[in-house]
Structure formats: C-alpha cells, structure tokens
C-alpha cells in the first residue's frame, strides 16, 4: 500500500478508478479522489450489491427488497453494500484519461465474507484446483471486433432507456479482404489510437490485423498465466471502447451486429497447461501428450454446457454457421479452422496448444477460462478417450453445438463438472440472469427460437453494451 501511494503521489494522480468485473464481464467502477485513497485501499470501496443481480439491460432480476433478496442471502437484502478490495498488482495509469489511475478489485461483503458471485474469484478457485493437480494454466488471446465511425451518437433524452438507442455508424472500410494491407491502412487512424493506449497499459500486444469483414479488426495478445490473461482481456476491451469513443469511433465486441454485410466476430482462446515450468501438452513423439489428449477430451465432452460461458448472449449463437470459419459441431481437428477445437503444434514443439474457436468476444473471461479448466480437468481425472480428428468439419456426423442461449443454459443446468467446479449456487444464479435476458427477447421479438437472422432487439441490447 505504501509503495502504491508513493507511486500515486509521484505521478500526480488525482483520481483512481476502483473497478470490478460484473457477471457479464463488464467493468463497474467508482472513482476515488487522491485524498481518500489511503482509506479506500485499507477499507475497500462500497457499491450496491444489486449490481450483481442485473441482466444485460441493467434490469434487476432478483427481488432484492425481500428477505434473502431472492438469493437466500441476507447480505443482498435491500441492495445493501458489497465492498471492492483492490488488488495492487493490477495497478495501471490510464493513458487516455487525465491523471487517472486504475485498480482491479476482488469482492467482499462488509462482514469480510467473499461474495459468491465474484467471477474473478471463481477463476482463482479453478486455478487453485488445477494447481492441486500439479498444473498451471496459460492462455493467449485472439480477438475479433468491429470499429466504426460514429455519425450520430443518439444522445437525445428520448434515446435513453434500458437499454438506450445504440449509435448510428458508418464503416471504415468495405472489406471483404482478409489481411489486406490497403484495407488495414483504412483502419489505421483508429488502430493507431488504440495501439498507443494499449501499449501504455503494458498489455502484451502481438499483432494488429485486418479481419475478413468490413470494418473488422483482430488483435492478438501474447501468452500469459491464467489470471493475468483474463485481467488483460477485461482491460483490453474496456480500453478499446473508451479510448476510441473519445475520438469519434465506436468499437463493439458484439458478435454479429445487425448491419448490412458485416461478419461475425469470434474470440479464439489458445490454451495449454504447464507443469514444472514446461508445457504439459508437449509430447516427444505425438501431436499431444496424454495429459493434453485427456484435457481435449474433457473440452469435447462438456462443450455444450460450457457454451453458456464462452457464448453468453443470444446474439452469439448466430455465428455458428456452416462453412463460415466458425464452429458448428462438437469436433476437433489438427490445424483446422472449421473445427471447434483446433490442435496446433507437434512432437517437441514448445508452442503446442489447443485453440477453442467457440467463444464470442464479449464473453466474461473469468467464466470462460474457469469453465475450460473444470471441463478439461474432468477429462484428465476420468482419462476420457479422445475420438478421431475431423477432416470434414461441416459434414462430420457429430453432436451439434447449441443453436441458442436457451439450449446452452439447459446443458449447463445438467452439467456435473461445472456444478461441482463453480458451485450450484453460482450456476443457478447465472442461469436465472440469462433466463431473464431470454424472456425479454421472446417477449420483444417475433424472431425468437431457431431463427438465424439478427433481430433489432439484439442490436439494441448488445451493440453499445459490449
């Protein structure tokens, strides 16, 4: 604390944002004046616990003004305070904000008890369980998103609401030309702003790329240990939206906006396990070690249930289409971009890893990572056999991925390893929040169900939020 306060004074910081990731993977924060920082660091910063009871429209799902708050927990009654407790290792100075620092926080109740819906804590628990088995978790991030120029911010009072009207936008380029240098140059004015700010945050940047669709970009982040990688994803998304918005651009991590001719965006999670400082997926003679094969089998076995965390919006399921470079079936392949799980590397290759291509870029990284760990561990503990790789990813006779969030939630409710790993209390809470989102969609949209087209409801719900 003394070192941090000294750093704040030396840099002339005037405010510090105490932030936490909510159930949707969105940052919530309070900005604390410099004079109050010693107290805030020592005692934490209070916030209404009802923030943890809200769906993606910020509507409160649980009856917090009743005994037990509908959660069976008196700590949530009356929207009472919970407390943000800063993790000093996450300290950053925000390059785009005037004399502003930032800290990521863990959550407690005022009585000191951990908040059971703290998603960062859930990942810590998963990592601890993995460490108990003798392994660490490593992740590299490959994230697609869209950047548009704002033509109308739609900030009139009548545009407000739950949710409000999303901004009107125009493209920065018209695509479709994957890795086109000319198209990339058209994105460059926005990406230059982004590059400077992300570098200023110390994020492990690897590449900036022109993705396949119009106004679509991809950024990759280098390999980090599990918690650091999840924190980096959270900060990367928030920084991208904030820094670009100040310059008249709108960045969105919504999977498939309702705009003509745009492509879906995915989040490809590259993962491996470490043991005694080495990649535990590396085999001297095969494409994967036995540990890696069992882990891969666990991801396959529980793919439909874990989709509720990797693809947590109604919109995300519109991406699963045949011959689209997005997965459609529960299969794996050797260096196949059509498979759900793509195995990269080979005998003796220290970069051997499993790429999960199922995720959408707006997913909560703590829940995504934790679900992968619990599913993979189950495969390792049960020594699940690995099926043959797919060579025809869109024609293989295999289980289909869920076609809707509702279907994925049904699989999650029945999942033994995810209930055991994340706790039934959390799983039931999460399912109820997502069911409220689904109920609103069904009431508002005649396009509910198996329809593949993106609805106006989805665009209003996610385009500005994510």
Residues 151-188 have pLDDT tens digits of: 999 999 999 999 999 999 999 999 788 888 888 899 99
pTM here is 0.95
d(CA 430, CA 417): 16
Is the pLDDT assigned to residue 59 strictly greater than 60? yes
Q: What is the pLDDT of residue 227?
A: 98
For CATH 3.30.590.10, list the domain ranges present in the chain. Answer: 126-462
pLDDT digits (tens, 9 = 90+) for 13-39: 999 999 999 999 999 999 999 999 999
Give the max Cα distance, the chain.
65
CATH class of the domain defined by 126-462: alpha beta
Core vs surface per residue 102-139: b (16+ CB within 10 A) or e: bbbbbbbbeeeeebbbbbbbbbbbbbebbeeeebbbbb
d(CA 109, CA 80): 9
For the chain, the average pLDDT equals 95
> 395 pLDDT band (50/70/90 cuts)?
confident
Which tens digits make up the pLDDT trace of 290-336? Answer: 999 999 999 999 999 999 999 999 999 999 887 777 899 999 999 88
Report whether CATH 3.10.20.70 matches the domain 2-115: yes
pLDDT at 444: 85
What's the half-sphere exposure (Cβ side, CA atoms, 13 Å) at 212? 9
| Radius of gyration from C-alpha coordinates of the chain | 22
> Are the C-beta atoms of 218 and 143 separated by less than 8 Å?
yes
Instruction: Centre a 10 Å sphere on the Cβ of residue 57 and count the other Cβ atoms it contains.
Output: 16
Q: Which helix (H) or strand (E) holds 189?
A: helix 181-200
Number of Cβ within a 10 Å radius of residue 201: 18
The boundaries of every CATH 3.10.20.70 domain in the chain are 2-115
Look at strands 100-108 and 15-21 and give their pairing. parallel
**Percent of the chain's residues with pLDDT above 70:** 99
Please, what is the end-to-end C-alpha distance for the chain in angstroms?
Answer: 33
DSSP string for 314-365? TGGGGG--TTSSS--BS-EEES-TTSSEEEE--TT-TT-EEEEEEE-TTS-H
């Amino acid at each position: 604390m003394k070192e941090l306060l000294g750093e704040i004074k030396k840099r002339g910081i005037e405010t510090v944002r105490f932030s936490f990731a909510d159930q949707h993977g969105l940052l919530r924060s309070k900005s604390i004046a410099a004079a109050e920082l010693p107290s805030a660091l020592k005692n934490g910063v209070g916030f209404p616990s009802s923030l943890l009871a809200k769906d993606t429209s910020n509507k409160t799902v649980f009856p917090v003004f009743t005994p037990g708050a509908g959660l069976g927990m008196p700590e949530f009654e009356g929207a009472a305070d919970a407390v943000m407790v800063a993790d000093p290792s996450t300290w950053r100075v925000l390059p785009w904000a005037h004399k502003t620092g930032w800290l990521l926080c863990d959550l407690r109740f005022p009585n000191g008890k951990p908040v059971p819906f703290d998603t960062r804590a859930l990942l810590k628990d998963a990592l601890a369980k993995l460490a108990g088995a003798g392994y660490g978790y490593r992740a590299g991030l490959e994230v697609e998103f869209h950047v548009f120029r704002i033509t109308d911010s739609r900030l009139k009072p009548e545009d407000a609401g739950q949710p409000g009207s999303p901004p009107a936008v125009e493209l920065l380029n018209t695509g479709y030309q994957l890795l086109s240098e000319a198209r990339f140059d058209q994105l460059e004015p926005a990406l230059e702003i982004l590059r400077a700010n992300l570098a200023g945050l110390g994020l492990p940047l690897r590449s900036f790329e022109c993705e396949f669709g119009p106004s679509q970009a991809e950024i990759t982040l280098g390999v980090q240990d599990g918690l650091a990688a999840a924190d980096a994803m959270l900060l990367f998304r928030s920084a991208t939206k904030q820094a670009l918005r100040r310059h008249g651009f709108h960045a969105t991590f919504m999977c498939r906006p309702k705009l003509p001719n745009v492509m879906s965006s995915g989040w490809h999670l590259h993962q491996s396990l470490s043991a005694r400082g080495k990649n535990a997926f590396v085999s001297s003679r095969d494409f994967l070690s036995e540990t890696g094969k069992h882990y891969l089998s666990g991801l396959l076995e529980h793919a439909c249930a874990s989709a509720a965390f990797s693809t947590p919006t109604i919109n995300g399921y519109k991406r699963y289409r045949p011959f689209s470079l997005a997965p459609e079936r529960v299969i794996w392949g050797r260096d196949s971009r059509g498979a759900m799980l793509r195995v990269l590397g080979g005998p003796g290759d220290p970069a051997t890893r499993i790429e999960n291509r199922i995720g959408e870029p707006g997913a909560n990284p703590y829940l995504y990572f934790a679900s992968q760990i619990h599913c993979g561990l189950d495969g390792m503990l049960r020594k699940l056999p690995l099926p043959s790789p797919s060579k025809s990813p869109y024609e293989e006779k295999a289980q289909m991925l869920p076609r809707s969030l509702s279907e994925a939630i049904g699989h999650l409710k029945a999942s033994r390893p995810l209930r055991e790993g994340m706790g039934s209390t959390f799983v039931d809470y999460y399912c109820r929040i997502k069911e409220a989102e689904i109920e609103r969609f069904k009431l508002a949209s005649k396009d509910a169900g198996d329809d593949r087209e993106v609805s106006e409801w989805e665009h209003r719900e996610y385009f500005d939020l994510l």
